[in-house]
């Protein structure tokens, strides 16, 4: 069972990751021919799963999605509102929910090593793509070939890079957390 201090640390980190995910969504690069932009938010979601694990990672993603659903401008390009879930990118947003659990569980299974983190990232992003491409296909009323061409293929190289970066960053961040927790309060 977690101590009160550990719960507080995890809750603060979940909020921090919700903020990082929000900031990452502002870094949105539109791609001609697709309503789906390149964003940095998914790298922070992957990193949240690796660092916070499945359940606190899920808390950070749920908090992020709730902020966006409430209308705060935390989704790609500084947008928000429930309408984003009904649009062409709504599937990606909803796909983050099961994906964060996979990021955290597979990473934990592999003792949070960088190579298991890469595996976790690949499996989790496959879930995001499954939700996202299916929603994109339905909303745009296109065939699967067009849905894959506009909702998956342009993003694979960048997402592979994000997975590798998150996988490499997670272990040293995890090593630093106990030292951060032990710092005296000099307020």
What's the pLDDT score for residue 177? 83
CATH hierarchy code of domain 4-171: 1.10.1760.20
Question: What is the residue-level pLDDT of the chain in tens, covering all 187 positions?
Answer: 778 888 988 999 999 999 999 999 999 899 999 999 999 999 999 999 999 999 999 999 999 999 999 999 999 989 999 999 999 999 999 999 999 999 999 999 988 889 999 999 999 999 999 999 999 999 999 999 999 999 999 999 999 999 999 999 999 999 988 876 666 655 5
Q: Write out the DSSP string of 68-136.
A: HHTT-S-BTTTB-STHHHHSTTHHHHHHHHHHHHHHHHHHHHTTT-HHHHHHHHHHHHHHHHHHHHHHH
């Amino acid at each position: 069972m977690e101590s009160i201090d550990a719960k507080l640390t995890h809750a603060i980190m979940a909020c921090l990751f919700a903020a990082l995910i929000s900031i990452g969504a502002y870094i949105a690069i539109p791609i001609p021919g697709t309503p789906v932009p390149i964003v940095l938010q998914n790298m922070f979601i992957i990193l949240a799963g690796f660092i916070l694990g499945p359940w606190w990672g899920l808390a950070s993603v749920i908090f992020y999605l709730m902020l966006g659903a409430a209308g705060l401008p935390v989704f790609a390009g500084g947008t928000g509102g429930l309408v984003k879930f009904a649009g062409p990118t709504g599937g990606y947003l909803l796909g983050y929910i099961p994906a964060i659990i996979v990021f955290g569980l597979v990473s934990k299974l592999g003792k949070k090593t960088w190579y298991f983190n890469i595996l976790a990232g690949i499996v989790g992003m496959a879930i995001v793509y499954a939700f996202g491409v299916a929603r994109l296909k339905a909303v745009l009323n296109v065939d699967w070939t067009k849905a894959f061409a506009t909702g998956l293929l342009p993003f694979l190289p960048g997402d592979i890079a994000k997975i590798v970066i998150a996988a490499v960053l997670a272990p040293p961040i995890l090593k630093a957390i106990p030292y951060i927790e032990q710092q005296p309060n000099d307020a």
